[in-house]
Structure 1
Amino acid sequence: MSNFTYPEVFILLGFSARPFLEPVLFMLVSIFYVVSVVGNSIIILVSCMDVRLHTPMYFFLTNLSFLDISFTMSIVPQLLVNLWGPQKTISYGGCMVQFYISHWLGATECVLLAVMSYDRYVAICRPLHYAVTMQPQLCMGLALTSWLGGLIISVVGSTLTMLLPLCGNNHIDHFFCEMPLIMQLACVDTSLNEMEMYLASFIVVVLPLGLILVSYGYIAQAVLKIRSAKGRRKAFNTCSSHMAVVSLFYGSIIFMYLQPAKSNSHEQGKFIALFYTIVTPMLSPLIYTLRNKDVKKALSNILKVDFKNLLQNLQGL
């Protein structure tokens, strides 16, 4: 047991193999980070302030926006620090906290996207029963299940990984603390951890994706049965934003895990991980804002009211 050590810090190699890219990435990541936080905050603010958006769809969208803000905050600040200077370390405790939180939020998003697809299925395929089915109690229960389910998966998997004895090597070839890479530093057999990781991946990735595909299969059948083109277009618009977000999120994850085992595949994996941890949370509020008339109208009304109040305050001075 004397050879087993837990390092005080980990070195996140990130993109240090390509130092010329780091200043460019720092600027891009900073912009994406600000847009992501501001955009998702606007979605939350609008959904809470406009009573017409107090519906199940926007309740789940608020959860998704809060989740995306939290997810980017768990990874991006440390990434920006590492991209800015030569010091690319993260403390052991910081790595574990990032490890737990990022896996919790990632797993939660997978389940939440499936819950949102069920909401769209009921809205399109069972419109007359929508108000009765998607009651506030059920919506709250589904959201809570997503958050608690992701937390349980994270606690089990992350704790099993954290308890692995390490061999002294503290270099992680990524820009954040990732489970498979930490397992590679272990001095013992990690078969149990790998089985748990595959089982967790099946539960939080494969099963939710299957439910999403089944939901949209039924939605497609229902839309095709609508006779008028206007009706089909309206039905499609109610779920097009969610389809776009699901495609971005799951598309990047599937592409990353289906890469061939080439020497440069790990470097490609870093950029794909950069996409789904930073770019996707930034695009999500833009998609919902640009493709959703209700959100744009609510945002416009709020801005008009605020501008009117500002003029009244200025006139009263």
Structure 2
Amino acid sequence: MVEIMRDVILGPMTSFGIGGPARFYAEPASAEEVSECLEFAKAEGVPVFVLSAGTDVLVDDEGIPGLLISTKRIKGISLEEGLLVAGAGEGLSRVCLFAAEVGLAGTEELYGIPGAMGGAVAKNAGAYGREMAELVAWADVVTQNGLARLRRDDLAMTYRGSALPEAGVLVRVALKLERSDPAKLRDAMYYYNEKRKRHQPIGQRSAGCIFKNPPGGHAGALIESAGLKGLRVGDALVSPVHANFIVNVGQATARDVKELIRLVKARVEEVHGIALETEIEFMPGGEI
């Protein structure tokens, strides 16, 4: 039986290092335990939130008022009927490494992206022209109605988003990949990861890219040309390395980050006439 904990601080579980407590918290290791969690939330009358690897998310300083389900213990990577199948808690880079070792191509550009498979599918992670939407064959999702297998079309994956069922918890993902030479795949992974290291604030506390790229442009370039690199609110800083990253350089709060996002959005719209849209998820909700 899965353990349900109370008042668990979420900050240490996120790549930003920011966030207050979850009223209830659980780490299920299987679809069956996820179902137990959903039944608990229904009985308590509280909303459900899902945390994958804790990247690409900003948790409020006050925390969240419901049940936070972490999928980090839902593991496993295997080959099934010609597909690479991974648990939602498997790290995206670990899946990329596995694919390369067995000679399956398609994930090389994604190697080095922080995060786990659950979040990568939910947010349609992508880099260097590659997106998860191109690779996903199906995903197993647990809802109050039980376990359902959703095909790629059912997921309706869009730029940094998907149509997962409300209060649904993704537990397994299958990728359809092509055969290739493992050595070539490892070389490609190294190339993209080194490129990422040169242009992103690797090793600093951030949630990844804050804003979606607007059509035909790059959010980071717009922010930089507006003179906003190094802009700071409290301990939240627009990265001098890549302007589409906000880094926590000390004890930044969610309030600091949100205010910095507002300032950046306003200045970019003033200078360029473009309204940037945020890419990260705000817990327990809302937009900026």
Fold-level similarity (TM above 0.5): no
Structure with bigger strand share is 2
Structure with bigger helix share is 1
* TM-score category, normalised to shorter length: under 0.3
Comparing both chains, which one has the higher relative contact order based on Cα–Cα distances under 8 Å and sequence gaps of 6 or more?
1
TM-score when scaled to structure 2? 0.26
TM-score when scaled to structure 1? 0.25
Q: Name which one, 1 or 2, has greater alpha-carbon Rg.
A: 1
